[in-house]
Amino acid sequence: MSIVVERRGPDPAPVGASPRRRRLTGLACLVVLLAAGAVLSLVIGARALSPAEVWQGLFGDPGTDQRLVEITLIVQTLRVPRTVLAVVAGLALGVAGALIQGHTRNPIADTGLLGVNAGASFAVVLAVHLVGLQNPVQYLWFALLGAAAAGVVVFGLSSLGRGAGNPLTLVLAGQGITIFLTAMTGAVALADKQALDVLRFFNAGSVQGVGWNVIIVASVFIAAGLVLAALNLPAINLLNLGDDVARGLGVNIALGRTTGVLAVTLLAGAATAACGPIAFLGLMVAHVARWFTGPDYRFLVPCAGLLGAVVLLFGDMAGRLVVRPAELQAGIVIALLGAPFFAALVWLGKFRQA
């Protein structure tokens, strides 16, 4: 009689442990990359500074040394606010881009679909035309109001009729409002040279020259949007299974969609109000994040947010270098990257369907 001895190997890893570890590692790498980008953003500019000079400008006492006074002014007044705004706005637009793609179930959706960008631009032009505002901190509130009003109108229209709550209805309502507001913005701007000048710089999308008063106000609304986005993550995962399945699993469809749209409106509206519309950023980073994290929005949304901050930060630095000593606005740099990215998505989609 022979005795068979079974040799047991190590216990198998829990299902999903490896993907989860990989996703967390990716998020940690993005945090490190973002920190490195923030340091580089303080160093790079029309006047290059060494890390030692940046440290002196941040924490040193310039005394009466004119050179150190100038370095302190450059670092604290110009580069630190610019870097903070790029991180905050990029984070907001990245998260908003992932949320809007999830709620519309449209892989080429962008925050502009809700009319947020068009609403902010129209409100800014109207404020300049009717009230004569010129200071960014003054028309920031109008831009926020315009973005919020556009989001509410789009969501309200998409909730009416037989197609209420349908992602396609939301997209169509957003496109209709965007076209209307864009036409109205052009009409007002052409009738008022002062409004046209403000619109030209606002629509370029830039994190340059924005003061702490604007950044703090925008950051409060962005923080509220991030809280709503975090609360919306479990619902959006289930909503992507289909409304009927989500309803069967106990999801309040109306509450889930309302929370998501409100989060997108706050995030995209505040970022647009602070630095102007940044086209394609949310679209790009949401797709790149999905390649690494898969469809789980608990990881996709934070990854898209960190990627948005990284891309906007490095895009702004690229704009400082390509036409040095002049500068190219970050919105233009992102658009130059985003347009071919969007075209590639469309082409690849058609290629796969052929």
**pLDDT tens column, 292-344:** 888 889 899 999 999 999 999 999 999 998 887 788 899 889 988 887 887 77
Look-up of token digits 């959706």? 109
**248 to 125, 231, 243, 295: CA distances (angstroms):** 46, 20, 8, 20
- What tokens appear for 310 in the block? 């990284």
**Cβ-based burial of 11 (10 A; exposed 0-12, middle 13-18, buried ≥19):** exposed
Q: What is the pLDDT of residue 164?
A: 56
d(CA 105, CA 103): 6
Q: What is the pLDDT of residue 91?
A: 96
CB atoms within 10 A of CB 15: 7
**pLDDT tens column, 230-269:** 999 988 888 888 778 888 888 888 888 889 888 988 998 8
d(CA 178, CA 343): 21
Q: What is the pLDDT of residue 349?
A: 61
Check: CB of residue 97 under 8 Å from CB of residue 285: yes
Q: Which residues contact 297 (CB under 8 A, 6 or more apart)?
A: 98, 102, 233, 236, 237, 240
Q: Which of 273, 274, 303, 271 is nearest to 287 (CA)?
A: 303
Stretch 56-77: mean pLDDT, rounded? 85
- What tokens appear for 148 in the block? 């919020």
**pLDDT tens column, 13-59:** 444 457 778 888 888 999 999 999 999 999 988 788 888 888 888 88
What phi and psi values does residue 91 have, to the nearest 5 degrees?
A: -60, -45
Global confidence as pTM: 0.86
Delineate the domains of the chain, giving CATH numbers in brackets: 38-79 (no CATH), 87-346 (1.10.3470.10)
Look-up of token digits 């580089």? 40
Q: What is the pLDDT of residue 104?
A: 79
